[in-house]
Amino acid sequence: MTKLILTVDDSASMRMLLKASLTAQGFRIEGAEDGAEGLERMHEVKPDLLITDINMPKMDGFELIEAVRDVPEFRGTPILVLSTEFSDDKKARARSAGATGWITKPFDAAKLGAAIRRVCP
Amino acid sequence: MSAAGDDGLDEIQGIFFEECAEGLAVAEQGLSAMAGGQVSADVIAGVFRAVHSIKGGSGAFGHMALLAFSHRFENVLDEVRGGAIPPDAAVTGIMLGAFDILSDHVAAAQSGGTPPADAAMLEQLDKLLANKGAAAEPAPAPAEPAPADEFGFAPVAVDLDILDDPFGFEPVAISLDDLAGEPAGGWTVRFGPSRDAMANGGEPILVIRELERMGGQILDADLSALPPLRDLDPEESYCVWTIGLPATIDEADIRECFDFVAPDSLIDIRRQETAPGAAPPKPEPVPEIAPLPAPALRVVETSEPAAPEARPADAPQQTIRVDLSKLDQLLNLIGELVIQGSILSDRLAPADQERVELPQLARLTRQIQDNVMSLRAQPIRQAFSRVPRMLRDLMAATGKQVVLETIGETTEVDKGVLEKIGDPLTHMIRNAVDHGIESPEERLAAGKSAEGTIRLSAEQKGARIIVRVADDGRGIDRARVRAKAIEKGIVSPDAVLSDEEIDNLICAPGFSTAETISNISGRGVGMDVVRSNVEALGGRVEIHSVPGEGTSFTMALPLTLAILDGMIVRLADQRFVLPLSNVVETVQPVAGQVKRVSPGSEVIELRGAYLPMRRASELFAIAEHQRRAPEESVVIIVESGVSGLVGLMIDTIENRREVVIKSLEDNLYPIRGLGGATILGDGSIALILDIDALIVSPGFNKFAPKGMAA
């Protein structure tokens, strides 16, 4: 079955790029432009995987992950952080918020696809 | 670098550059505010995020030089955001400089040009990090800012290595002996997910399956930690697996499988010394050989764990991004609707118009039109935002000191107008610095402050936007301008010119007062280009100068480029549209009211005063036999920017109508004196008169061989 991925990023170009690269690899993509909208969309589309940016206006990625994990239904949903940041500190923070993994931007489409399949086969 | 189709990628890239432009605007505003002493967490966070976003996209689209630079800039901003680097004047100055180079990088990335030289700035940024940031970073492992290569490409390349090691995970045991040793057996991997490994959507079984796909085999499952059933939490993990893998597999590939495994899990990867199937070697915590694709760059952390970051006040606005071409299309359609409305009102008798409620339809159309226009309206800030940067460059190039004051940045202008005023504005500012503002010494000698002031303002006045660039410099040297104009043959030596006329000579084609063409204003174009650009927009330029006190250039621009309230007039059986905004009143001359004062120069007497008058039939070189005498004509008193009230004689007035402007420039070529064309209700075409260019411009001579003064 086609996996549905929700991508949350405040940059429209990044969302489009994700959509283009991942649609080409057989995923279905939905998008949201900040944490608040992301949380709403989670409930709407119930994706198989959430990919989120960290630095976003309104609700940031950490807050979004925490909020998503607070919802029992989403406790097991894999969440990948896709960010330009790469400090261990931030990664640890994401992990404790409930992220499954961290991918550093810029991403390579093929590797991103492989990473996605790693958490969401 | 990415898998998106090329066409799609281009489009996305276009959006990325739009975002860059927005980000740069935000960053510049924030940095300017900081330079002005307004330092707040919100402002700094806004600048940081703007640069951060540019960095994020730049990598994705393969703009490596931009990525490298924005990365370093972001590091500094991050330290400033965290409080480790105080945003004092010196730091803000460096950041403004970095901003300028960032803009250049964006421009280079967009145009595919050569990235700017940024080595010196990178050094400054690194110095900032090294000095001020030292307190926040115990052992900064001097950043090893690997020497930028010839492209100024900094070492960020490392973190391009995409699937970064997640969470800097735990000790991985590799024995170097094994690595160096002979072919040896396969790999033995011990994997004991931490208790809560499954909590965050991490599924250990997926790792095992992936290893199996690579040829792995479970050799052993250690269940000793498994509690009695009643204590077992199905969401926790208790097993330790031992998996054997063929020797041919690359270690990195094995490690990659563990990318998303919880950090405190047991992961032990080692070469087998014995054949697979034998007892696995005892795992022992081996001192880590950091497998991290460690970023060679110093990573700067905010000391305060980014609690819900303070955000700029951009949050509450609900917006939607729409492709401009869709708005243009909408506007075009509204235009057609307006035309259809005209056709209907042409064809229906007034009573019938009422019966079908045409006036109501017209009102609705008008409302829709206003709405669409407002959709296209953008704050003029977008055009103004380029100015500070330019001024900094100019100050550096000339040694002059200038303070910029901006007023009315929120004034909204149609996007089409906005796009076209950038160049004139740039030139006006250059002109002001180059010719207006004096050197600090000169200013002091003249009893002025060493710093000159340029005031940039925008306001809406009726259907026009007034943009003004005013300096407090030396003013126009009229004697010199006049001499130059005579030398260039623009005016005759005996011409009598008012101060205003002399000032306007600056905008005459082919005029340049600079003795030597400076590398600032003198780029082969002069103020005449500014004027013609503005006039092409249906606007006009006014110059006002007081010697010793300063000069102001004023652009009066139409609010929109699309629809015009017009008066339909007739001239020699042709119809023309006269913009209603120019019309003051109309006069039916009686005999003797129009007087010829000199060849080619007429006046009309109006309530005891005399106004200059032009015959449209002469301006358009209408055949002699088709020309009408003043008594059979109508004179429309129009207001022109430079010459005030002027009479324009036409044959008759037909009616008043909204017309949709169809550009001559786009469809044909620009014609001085004509602002465009339109389709009238009966389907015929009428040309729209550009009053300012037609009547005022001294350069007007296409239709009137005699032109204006001299």
pLDDT for B546 beyond 80 = yes
Q: Looking at the partner chain, which of B15, B256, B259 has a beta carbon nearest the beta carbon of A13?
A: B15
Inter-chain touch B53–A55, beta carbons under 8 Å = yes
- The answer to whether residue B134 neighbours chain A at the CB level (below 8 Å) is no
Q: Alpha-carbon distance B291 to B308, whole Å?
A: 32
Place of tokens 């400090």: A87
Structural domains of chain B, count: 5
Is residue B68 a part of any domain in this protein?
A: yes
Q: Alpha-carbon distance B11 to B5, whole Å?
A: 10
Supply the range of the domain harboring residue B605: 563-696
Inter-chain touch B200–A95, beta carbons under 8 Å = yes
Residues B122/B102, Cβ–Cβ less than 8 Å: no
Verify that B101 and B22 share a domain, yes or no. yes
What pLDDT digit, counting tens, does each position of B227-279 carry? 888 788 877 788 888 888 888 888 888 887 787 777 778 888 888 765 444 44
Mean pLDDT of B572-577: 90
DSSP state of A6: E
Residues making up chain A, counted from first to last: 121
Among the listed residues A65, A70, A72, A58, the one whose alpha carbon sits nearest the alpha carbon of residue A90 = A65
More confident call, B533 vs B117: B117
- The answer to whether residue B310 neighbours chain A at the CB level (below 8 Å) is no
Verify that B101 and B126 share a domain, yes or no. yes
Is residue B40 a part of any domain in this protein?
A: yes
Q: Looking at the partner chain, which of A20, A58, A98 has a beta carbon nearest the beta carbon of B5?
A: A20
Supply the range of the domain harboring residue A42: 4-48+56-119
Structural domains of chain A, count: 1
Find, in chain A, the residue whose alpha carbon is nearest to that of B209.
Answer: A118
Verify that B90 and B70 share a domain, yes or no. yes
Q: Which residues of B touch A106 (CB under 8 A)?
A: 1, 56, 58-62, 67, 160, 162
Verify that B345 and B483 share a domain, yes or no. no
Last residue of a domain, one of B558, B590, B622: B558
Q: Alpha-carbon distance B571 to B553, whole Å?
A: 35
Residues 56-85 of B with CB under 8 A from A: 56-62, 67, 71, 74
Verify that B214 and B153 share a domain, yes or no. no
Chain A nearest-CA distance from B373, in A, is: 25
Chain B nearest-CA distance from A4, in A, is: 15
Mean pLDDT of B155-161: 36
A interface test, pick of B9, B163, B235, B256 with most A CB neighbours within 10 Å: B163
Among the listed residues B421, B400, B422, B557, the one whose alpha carbon sits nearest the alpha carbon of residue B472 = B400
Cα–Cα separations (whole angstroms), residue B358 to B289, B331, B340, B343, B568: 83, 21, 11, 11, 21
Residues B368/B397, Cβ–Cβ less than 8 Å: no
Residues 10-29 of A with CB under 8 A from B: 10-14, 16-17, 20-21, 24-25
Q: Looking at the partner chain, which of B57, B167, B309 has a beta carbon nearest the beta carbon of A13?
A: B57
Verify that B358 and B505 share a domain, yes or no. no
Q: Which residues of A touch B160 (CB under 8 A)?
A: 106
CATH number of the domain where residue B591 is located: 2.40.50.180
As a whole number, the mean pLDDT across chain B is 76
Residues B511/B482, Cβ–Cβ less than 8 Å: no
pLDDT for A121 beyond 80 = no
Verify that B422 and B523 share a domain, yes or no. yes
DSSP state of B693: I
User: Residue B512 — pLDDT band, cuts 50, 70, 90?
Assistant: low
Instruction: Give the CA count within 13 Å in the CB-facing half-sphere of B551.
Output: 27
What pLDDT digit, counting tens, does each position of B178-194 carry? 444 444 578 888 888 87
Find, in chain B, the residue whose alpha carbon is nearest to that of A78.
Answer: B201
Find, in chain B, the residue whose alpha carbon is nearest to that of A62.
Answer: B308
Q: Which residues of A touch B206 (CB under 8 A)?
A: 118-119, 121
B interface test, pick of A3, A105, A117, A120 with most B CB neighbours within 10 Å: A105
Last residue of a domain, one of B531, B558, B585: B558
Q: Which residues of A touch B106 (CB under 8 A)?
A: none
Verify that B373 and B387 share a domain, yes or no. no
What pLDDT digit, counting tens, does each position of A34-68 carry? 899 999 999 999 999 999 998 887 888 999 999 99
Supply angle C-alpha B189, A98, A116, rounded to 5. Answer: 60
Q: Looking at the partner chain, which of A16, A78, A115 has a beta carbon nearest the beta carbon of B163?
A: A115
pLDDT, residue B282, reads 46
User: Residue B521 — pLDDT band, cuts 50, 70, 90?
Assistant: very low
Among the listed residues A6, A119, A104, A20, the one whose alpha carbon sits nearest the alpha carbon of residue A64 = A6
Is residue B295 a part of any domain in this protein?
A: no
pLDDT, residue A50, reads 94
- The answer to whether residue B163 neighbours chain A at the CB level (below 8 Å) is yes
Q: Which two tokens mark B475?
A: 């003013």
Chain A nearest-CA distance from B351, in A, is: 53
- Give the count of beta carbons closer than 10 Å to the beta carbon of residue B297: 23
Q: Phi first, then psi: what are they for B428, rounded to 5°?
A: -65, -40
Q: Which residues of B touch A83 (CB under 8 A)?
A: 56
Last residue of a domain, one of B145, B160, B175: B160
B591 burial (CB, 10 Å; 0-12 / 13-18 / 19+) is exposed
Percentage of chain B surpassing pLDDT 90?
7
Q: Which two tokens mark B377?
A: 């309206």
Q: Looking at the partner chain, which of B67, B202, B299 has a beta carbon nearest the beta carbon of A86?
A: B299
One-letter identity of residue B451: E
Q: Which residues of B touch A31 (CB under 8 A)?
A: none
Q: Alpha-carbon distance B134 to A66, whole Å?
A: 33
User: Residue B138 — pLDDT band, cuts 50, 70, 90?
Assistant: very low
Is residue B702 a part of any domain in this protein?
A: no
Residues A64/A8, Cβ–Cβ less than 8 Å: yes
Q: Looking at the partner chain, which of A76, A86, A95 has a beta carbon nearest the beta carbon of B159?
A: A86
Is residue B257 a part of any domain in this protein?
A: yes
Find, in chain A, the residue whose alpha carbon is nearest to that of B1.
Answer: A108
Q: Looking at the partner chain, which of A13, A77, A79 has a beta carbon nearest the beta carbon of B19?
A: A13
Q: Which two tokens mark B652?
A: 């008759």
Residues 6+ apart with CB under 8 A from A62: A54, A93, A94, A97, B306
Instruction: Give the CA count within 13 Å in the CB-facing half-sphere of B467.
Output: 29
User: Residue A120 — pLDDT band, cuts 50, 70, 90?
Assistant: confident
Is residue B293 a part of any domain in this protein?
A: no
Inter-chain touch A109–B311, beta carbons under 8 Å = no
Is residue B288 a part of any domain in this protein?
A: no
Verify that B259 and B356 share a domain, yes or no. no
CATH number of the domain where residue B85 is located: 1.20.120.160
CATH number of the domain where residue B216 is located: 3.30.70
Verify that B570 and B538 share a domain, yes or no. no
Find, in chain B, the residue whose alpha carbon is nearest to that of A55.
Answer: B49
pTM, two decimal places? 0.46
- The answer to whether residue A96 neighbours chain B at the CB level (below 8 Å) is no
- The answer to whether residue B212 neighbours chain A at the CB level (below 8 Å) is no
Residues 278-297 of B with CB under 8 A from A: 295
CATH number of the domain where residue A75 is located: 3.40.50.2300
Chain A nearest-CA distance from B158, in A, is: 11
Residues B369/B338, Cβ–Cβ less than 8 Å: yes
- The answer to whether residue A71 neighbours chain B at the CB level (below 8 Å) is no
pLDDT, residue B350, reads 84
Among the listed residues B453, B463, B675, the one whose alpha carbon sits nearest the alpha carbon of residue B551 = B453
One-letter identity of residue B21: A
Inter-chain touch B262–A95, beta carbons under 8 Å = yes
Verify that B679 and B603 share a domain, yes or no. yes
Is residue B148 a part of any domain in this protein?
A: yes
Q: Which two tokens mark B530?
A: 């500014």
- The answer to whether residue B198 neighbours chain A at the CB level (below 8 Å) is yes
User: Residue B134 — pLDDT band, cuts 50, 70, 90?
Assistant: very low
Q: Alpha-carbon distance B469 to B592, whole Å?
A: 44
User: Residue B642 — pLDDT band, cuts 50, 70, 90?
Assistant: low
Q: Alpha-carbon distance B437 to B424, whole Å?
A: 18
Q: Alpha-carbon distance B605 to B596, whole Å?
A: 11
Among the residue ranges B170-179, B319-328, B383-392, the one predicted with the least confidence is B170-179
Q: ipTM of this predicted complex?
A: 0.77
What pLDDT digit, counting tens, does each position of B205-227 carry? 888 888 888 788 888 888 888 88
Q: Alpha-carbon distance B598 to A47, whole Å?
A: 83
